[in-house]
A and B are shown apart, each in its own frame.
Chain A
Amino acid sequence: MTIGVIKVARPRKMSFPESLYLVEIVKGLGVTMGHMLSNIVRQEGIKTIEYPEVRREMPPRFRGRHRLMKREDGTPRCVACYCCATACPAKCITIVAGESPDPGVEKYPVRFDIDMLRCVFCGMCVEACPCDAIRMDTGWFTPPDDTREKLIFTIDTLLEK
């Protein structure tokens, strides 16, 4: 026996009535009509998700749009260390740091913008953050919008989630 040769079952030769296709076509028509009728009668059997009204359940580790975490007192947990902006392969995070009023914290982000149109949802920012200030666990995509400006999420939008 030759090694590495796999015997594949050849399709059976068609019988004469089958090769005329006439009966087979009628059978096929029966199948499609069956699908159609059952779908019309039982609409709930259709797999389509009616998107804006119904949303798909995302798996728990789905990387969706970002959110910034807050401390107990409501200030952002981010310390404006630029780790995420440095790690970001799409260079879509813009941070402007300011001196924090809290003496225990050195800096805080005055601006923290993520350009969602450039983001590739790689999750590098989340990996890079030393204080777990940024997460992608919102479970949903960036929603569509009608201008580019609206899709540059600012710190307020990111903290909201």
Chain B
Amino acid sequence: MTGPLFDIAVAVARIAVFFAFCFGLVVVMTWVERKGAAYIQDRRGPNRADIFGIRAWGLFHPLADALKFLFKEDFIPDNAHRLFYQMAPMFSLAPAILGIAVIPFGPDVTVMGRRIALQIADLNVGILYLFAVSGMTVYGVVLAGWASGSKYPLLGGLRSSAQMLSYEVSMGLSLIGIFMVFESVRMSQIVTGQGGLLFGVLPKWGVFVQPLGFILFLVAQYAEANRTPFDLPEGESELVAGYHTEYASFKFSMFMMAEYLHMVVGAAVVATLFFGGWQFPYLGDAGFLLPGGSTVAVPPALVLLLRIGAFVSKVLFFAWLYVWIRWTIPRLRYDQVMRLGWKVMLPLSLLNIFATGLILLLLNK
């Protein structure tokens, strides 16, 4: 194959595969959420949808949901601003999809003598791009809240924009430590940087070099994604359903998809920045290098599989953590959310930056 054609084929293939992976995970996550919630609360969860009598633990429920959303009436309330009302779901889904682009799914592979990064776009601004697109999510929420022309969505939209803006700050600041340690904002370089060992035993993962940064980032991310314990914008008891109260049919499901896609992308980002991305502990390019100095040779194909498998299982774990946390912790009160954001997270993330800087300075002396 000639040069440009090959590049285009590779780009399309990468986009298709990662897109399919993320959306597949979104579908699975809706099932995991409902089923996990049920089992945590001593219930059985969805188990009725069947195809030819096969129920498969309710696995067909996402399919049934999708069909239902597709065939429901697409209703626009009289008071809604027609254009913005229809734009809001797109504004909420698009940033979530854009986020997939910079996540490295695996190490570089060599196909037909060419090195191909398993990443849709290895941008040199990497994580900054991610912040930029995830910052846009708030437009979807605000638009939805305002354009619905109803008071509960408006309150929900206001709440979530205030919350997202507050936590965006500490989210950005909590990552500065990572940039300082790995000396890059490029996702691929951060992942490669996590391949080494710390004190000769621990993998040099972000969570081990930046434990405080990890906790801050995780909390900020839950707040960003509007997930429990920070799901005030959707506080059912106060706001019906928050900013998407007036939405029905497929527009509503776009909000839902955006929420779950945020979870998936968020899980992938945490795995990439703090848990070594596709790095398998102690696995080098040629095989395992155990801390004792012993080595186990592994064929390159298996290395690749192990690494992609490591990435996928990390993403699955963090996606599950979202669900797990949701059904464990009750919702915070609004003043508690704001206090945590500004009075606890922000000073701590600043402290984290200074502490990291100090340690790096002393180490380099």
Please give the residue numbers on chain A whose beta carbons come within 8 Å of chain B beta carbons, in ascending order: 22, 25, 28-29, 31-33, 35-36, 39-40, 45-48, 50
Contacts and interface: CB of A to CB of B under 8 A. Distances in A.
Interface string B44-69: 10000000000000000000000000
A29 B324 contact: yes
B42 A35 contact: yes
9 contacts: A25-B325, A25-B328, A35-B42, A36-B36, A39-B39, A39-B42, A45-B42, A48-B42, A48-B44
A48 B43 contact: yes
A22 B39 CA distance: 24
Given A25-B328, A39-B40, 7 more contacts: A25-B329, A29-B324, A29-B325, A32-B328, A35-B42, A48-B42, A50-B44
B328 A28 contact: yes
Chain A interface, >50% SS class: helix
A40 B44 CA distance: 9
A35 B36 CA distance: 10
Contacts of B324: 29, 32-33
B360 interface: no
Contact of A36 (B39, B215, B329): B39
Contacts of A33: 40, 324
Contact of B44 (A31, A32, A46): A46
A32 to B, nearest CB: 5
B327 interface: yes
By Cβ-Cβ distance, the 7 closest A-B pairs, closest first, are: A36-B39, A48-B44, A39-B39, A32-B328, A28-B328, A32-B40, A36-B40
A47 B42 CA distance: 7
Contacts, number: 37
Q: Which of B40, B43, B324 counts the most chain A CB atoms within 10 A?
A: B40
B42 A32 contact: no
Contacts of B328: 25, 28-29, 31-32
A47 to B, nearest CB: 6
Nearest to B44: A48
A46 B324 CA distance: 19
Contacts of B42: 35, 39, 45-48
B40 A46 contact: no
Interface string B320-358: 000011011100000000000000000000000000000
A97 B46 CA distance: 50
A46 B39 CA distance: 8
A33 B36 CA distance: 10
B329 A40 contact: no
A151 to B, nearest CB: 23
Interface string B27-43: 00000000010011111
A47 B40 CA distance: 13
Given A22-B215, A29-B324, A35 B40 contact: yes
A39 B43 CA distance: 8
Nearest to B43: A48
Contacts of B327: 32
A30 B30 CA distance: 22
B290 to A, nearest CB: 29
A31 B327 CA distance: 11
A24 B107 CA distance: 37
Q: Among the interface residues A32, A46, A48, which one has the most CB atoms of the partner chain B within 10 A?
A: A32
B323 to A, nearest CB: 10
A138 B41 CA distance: 33
A39 B39 CA distance: 6
